[in-house]
Chains A and B, each alone.
Chain A
Amino acid sequence: MVTSGKGGVGKTTTSANLGTGLASAGHKVVLVDTDIGLRNLDVVMGLENRIVYDIVDVTSGNCRLKQALIKDKRFENLYLLPAAQTKDKTAVSPEQMRTLAAELKEEFDFAVIDCPAGIEQGFRNAIAGADRAVVVTTPEVSAVRDADRIIGLLEANELRNPRLIINRIRPQMVKRGDMMDISDILDILAIELLGVVPEDESIVISTNRGEPAVMDHSSKAGEAYRRITRRIRGEEVPLMNLDVPDGLMDRLKRLIGMR
């Protein structure tokens, strides 16, 4: 499951890119949008025109799982189970989610569950179905605080060892001391780092097009997600180099021994 507590930090973006990355590495993957009422993963994936049934149709027995799954034509083995748009968060129960997850496990190598913001039923549903958790945060006080709360709740619900993605890092701001850096955040949250994704226009462009950035080999954020994908597959991959070249001020600072 991909979760964060706070909204708008990049759960859906991350789910789309992880799912696409894993599928292009040859795994059979299903993306599950559990943000009922605020369906988004379909548009980020560019699959919004092909929806017939949704997750609530499946859990309430309106249709079979196979009928609701949308096959991504770009990848042999990538599927989407869309959220319902007209129902509310309570339309799926944790028990139903558990059953669904068990069914998905039979069919797929990976099921990537995109969570809604918050810690209410949508979050509890995702917990009920998930074996592993990825926590997304940005380098901001409010996002890190919510991530801390989420990590506590995950552990209280036996989802041990969640892994962290720090999204929207801006190396220029980090460098001048106006943004918390990776080690600051890891110090505070004390969990394992899965990856760091820079703030990148290509995310906006790829979302406009409905083609996840991980497919774009000139995208920095795409490269970050490709590395994250490999780490999920168990490879050891170094962090991307996000350093910015030294400017005049840096050289001056060094000269007078300030760094």
Chain B
Amino acid sequence: MLEFISRMLGRENSSSKNVAKERLRLVLVHDRATISPHMLNQLKEDLIKVISNYMEIDEVNLEVNLNQDDREVALVANIPVVKMKRDYATKG
């Protein structure tokens, strides 16, 4: 009964504004999924910095790309590991 009333009064989630927002969110992920070479380079450098705290990586063969298909945009990174650092904390 209560469900019927609430459906009659229009629940938030099914309102057309929320449909609009969700569609916009998706379309903008795609629209914005271009990244300037400059920004991509910065991202690579930052990645290297962070990852180097944990392992030694092959910086020359590192690949970072923004891939997109119909449903999603993904940041795909291929980072060859040369050497792992010893993890004293967990071995302790």
A residues apposed to B, CB below 8 Å? 140-141, 144-145, 148-149, 152, 174, 176-181, 184, 188, 249, 252-253, 256, 258
Contact = CB atoms under 8 A, between A and B. Distances in A.
B17 A148 contact: no
B9 A178 contact: no
B17 A144 contact: no
B78 interface: no
Contacts of A149: 31
A140 B19 CA distance: 11
Interface string B7-33: 001101001111011011101100110
B31 A145 contact: yes
The B interface, classified by DSSP as helix, strand, loop or mixed, is helix
Contact of B32 (A152, A256, A258): A152
Q: What size tier do the contact residues of chain B reach?
A: 10 to 19
B16 A178 contact: yes
A180 B32 CA distance: 21
A141 B10 contact: no
Contacts of A258: 6, 9
B89 interface: no
A177 B32 CA distance: 27
Given A188-B24, A252-B9, A176 B31 contact: no
A144 B24 contact: yes
A229 B17 CA distance: 30
B17 A180 contact: yes
Given A177-B16, A188-B25, 10 more contacts: A140-B20, A141-B27, A145-B24, A179-B17, A180-B17, A180-B20, A184-B17, A184-B21, A252-B9, A258-B9
A27 B23 CA distance: 43
Contacts of B16: 177-178
Contacts of B9: 249, 252-253, 258
Given A145-B27, A148-B28, A148-B31, A177 B15 contact: yes
A176 B15 contact: yes
A67 B9 CA distance: 61
25 contacts: A140-B20, A141-B20, A141-B23, A141-B24, A141-B27, A145-B27, A145-B28, A148-B32, A149-B31, A176-B15, A177-B17, A178-B17, A179-B17, A180-B17, A180-B21, A181-B17, A184-B17, A184-B21, A188-B21, A188-B25, A188-B28, A249-B9, A253-B9, A256-B2, A256-B5
A179 B25 CA distance: 15
A98 to B, nearest CB: 24
A179 B20 CA distance: 8
A176 B16 CA distance: 9
A64 to B, nearest CB: 42
A134 to B, nearest CB: 21
A252 B20 CA distance: 26
Contacts of A141: 20, 23-24, 27
Nearest to A148: B28
Given A141-B20, A141-B24, A178 B31 contact: no
Nearest to B24: A141
Please provide the 8 A-B residue pairs with the shortest distance between their CB atoms, ordered closest to farther. A177-B15, A178-B16, A177-B17, A141-B20, A180-B17, A141-B24, A253-B9, A148-B28
